[in-house]
């Protein structure tokens, strides 16, 4: 049950960051999604799709992980690693979303948008 709570908590936090970014980026139609080595954006997505990417990806990953945690027995000695793994994956998604939003802000500021 704790796994579900962790998944819901991280999903809500990711959605909250996406909603805040959506409010701040109201005037931007397309948001960069990938960058080249020189910092130039190589492609972009519509704002709602770009901002929903990380919350949806995290929710899908957590659903799969909850299914696996409930149906696949951990190896001997790894029984206590399920919850730390859920927390680590949630923190990874949070960090990636914050990195993406920072890169978006940096790119938009540099391009004057």
Q: List pLDDT tens digits, range 56-72.
A: 999 999 999 999 988 98
pLDDT of residue 76: 87
Closest by CA to 18, choosing from 45, 43, 46, 55, is: 55
Q: Which of 27-31, 59-63, 92-96, 107-111 has the lowest mean pLDDT?
A: 107-111
What pLDDT does 113 receive?
61
pTM comes to 0.87
Q: Please choose, from the candidates 81, 94, 57, the residue with its C-alpha nearest in 3D space to the C-alpha of residue 3.
A: 81
pLDDT digits (tens, 9 = 90+) for 5-44: 999 999 999 999 999 999 999 989 999 999 888 888 888 9
Number of domains in the chain: 1
């Amino acid at each position: 049950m704790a796994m579900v709570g962790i998944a819901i908590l991280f999903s809500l936090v990711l959605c909250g960051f996406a909603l805040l970014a959506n409010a701040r980026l109201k005037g931007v139609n397309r948001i960069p999604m990938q960058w080249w080595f020189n910092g130039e954006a190589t492609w972009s997505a519509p704002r709602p799709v770009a901002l929903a990417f990380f919350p949806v990806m995290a929710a899908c990953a957590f659903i799969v992980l909850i299914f696996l945690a409930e149906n696949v027995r951990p190896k001997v000695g790894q029984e206590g690693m399920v919850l730390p793994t859920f927390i680590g994956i949630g923190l990874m998604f949070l960090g990636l979303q914050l990195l993406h939003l920072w890169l978006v802000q940096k790119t938009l500021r540099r391009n004057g948008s």
